[in-house]
Structures are given as C-alpha cells and as structure tokens.
Amino acid sequence: MKDLTIKVNIANRPYRLKIHSEEEEEVIRKSAEHIESLINDYSGKYHYNDHQDLLAMIALQLANNSLSLEKHVDYRDNDLVEQLEKIDLFLSSKVS
C-alpha cells in the first residue's frame, strides 16, 4: 500500500496526516475519536478558557496513562521474570 493522506478533526480543527497502512489509519482514527470524547467529557466537568486548556489536561492524562503502562510492563518484564526464575529454582531444588 502506498502512503495515503487522511484528515482527522481534533478540537474542531482538521489535521492532514500521511499514513502507511490501513491498520495505522484505523488506530489514528480511533485515537482522534478518543481525544474528541475526552474533550467532550472534560468540557462538561471543568471550567476552561479555550480548547488549549482541555488539550493540556488530556495530554497530562494520556501521558500519565502511558507512564503507568510502562511501569506495569517493566514490572512484568523484569520483576515478574525474576520472581518466576526464583520459583523455578526452588521447584528444581525440590525435584532433585
């Protein structure tokens, strides 16, 4: 598939993006819809001067979510593997 240009709207502004695959298009469109949903949620809950305020709060929320997921993945990839290795050693010593 050759590159395509798509348009998504975020905070009532159109953005043109080049994409490389249909899968990428689907993810980008879902991401834009998610941001629009968050804008609607935040605009109903918080006082704001303009969409910049809402977008800043959404960026903070999404960055927080991303860092939390990274921490979870790090635990899974490092600490959990270490714990499983200890369990394996313990069980191996009981079998011998």
Is 58 exposed, middle or buried (CB count within 10 Å of its CB: 0-12, 13-18, 19+)?
buried
Structural domain span for residue 50: 4-95
> Would you place residue 95 in the very low, low, confident or very high pLDDT band (cuts 50, 70, 90)?
confident
Residue that the structure tokens 């704001």 belong to: 48
pLDDT in tens, 5-56: 999 999 999 999 999 999 999 999 999 999 999 999 999 998 889 999 999 9
For residue 90, the one-letter residue type is F
Contact 56, 35 (CB under 8 A): no
CA distance 39 to 53: 10
**What's the chain's Rg over C-alpha atoms?**
22
Q: How many residues are listed for the chain in this entry?
A: 96
User: What are the DSSP E strand ranges found in the chain?
Assistant: 4-10, 13-19
Query: Total structural domains in the chain?
Result: 1
First-to-last CA distance in the chain? Answer: 57
What pTM was estimated for this model as a whole?
A: 0.71
